[in-house]
Structure 1
Amino acid sequence: MEFIVTTLGVFFLAALLEIGGGYLVWKWLREHKGKMFGLIGGLILFVYGMVPTLQPAEFGRVYATYGGIFVVASIMWGYWIDKKKPDRFEIIGSVVVLVGVAIMFYFPR
């Protein structure tokens, strides 16, 4: 159980960094915020690139699993930050993705 909690924590940290950094770059370029938004966003994205290396699996499996976590985290970000309530299809899709993630990363080989 500790393995699952630790790896999910690393996946969600990576998602927070990627979405947060990307959000700042988005604000800089799309909403014409200051250059500091872009600089800080870029630095956060750089740190994000290092976080998945903390996972105990090979690159392909880590990034495939992370893709699913990213989908769910993006929906959560939209709800909490952009105040966009997910519709039923986004929720259903997130559940499907999480089932896929569990099968790919956590089922014994």
Structure 2
Amino acid sequence: MVEIASTLGIFFFAALLEIGEGYLLWKWLKDHKTKIFGLVGALILFSYGIVMTLQPADFGKVYATYGGIFIVSSIIWGYWVDKKKPDRFEIIGSVVVLIGIAVMFYFSR
């Protein structure tokens, strides 16, 4: 159970870094914010890459699982930051993705 909590923590922290990086680059390029947004975004993206190496599994398995975490985290980000309430299909899709993650990454073989 500790390993599951640890890996989920790493996944969600990585998602926060990657989504935060994307948000800063979006602000810089689309909303014409200062270049510091782009620079900080690039540094955060670099940090995201390092954080992902903390996972105990192989690269492909980690990144496939992370894709699902990214989907769920993006919807949460949209709710908290962009104030966009997810619709029922986004919620259902997120549940399906979380089930897929659990099967792919956590079920013993």
Query: Shorter-chain TM-score: which interval?
Result: over 0.9
| Displacement after TM superposition at 1:18 (Å) | 0.1
Within a 5 Å distance, the mapping from 1:46-65 to structure 2 comes to 46-65=46-65
Q: Which residue of 2 aligns with 1:78?
A: 78
Aligned residue type for 1:32: H
CA distance in 2, matches of 1:12, 1:67: 11
Q: Which runs of 5+ in 1 are unaligned?
A: none
Tell me by how many angstroms 1:6 deviates. 0.2
1:105 alignment counterpart? 105
Report the alpha carbon displacement of residue 38 of structure 1 after superposing the two structures with TM: 0.5
Q: How many residue pairs were aligned?
A: 109
CA distance in 2, matches of 1:34, 1:87: 33
Matched, 1:29 2:43: no
AA aligned to 1:78 is G
Supply the RMSD in Å over aligned alpha carbons. Answer: 0.4
Q: Distance in 1 between matches of 2:52 and 2:105?
A: 13
Q: Report percent identity of matched pairs.
A: 75
Q: Provide structure 2 residue ranges, at least 5 long, that are not aligned to the other structure.
A: none
Structure 1's consecutive aligned runs of 4 or more residues displaced over 2 angstroms after TM superposition are: none
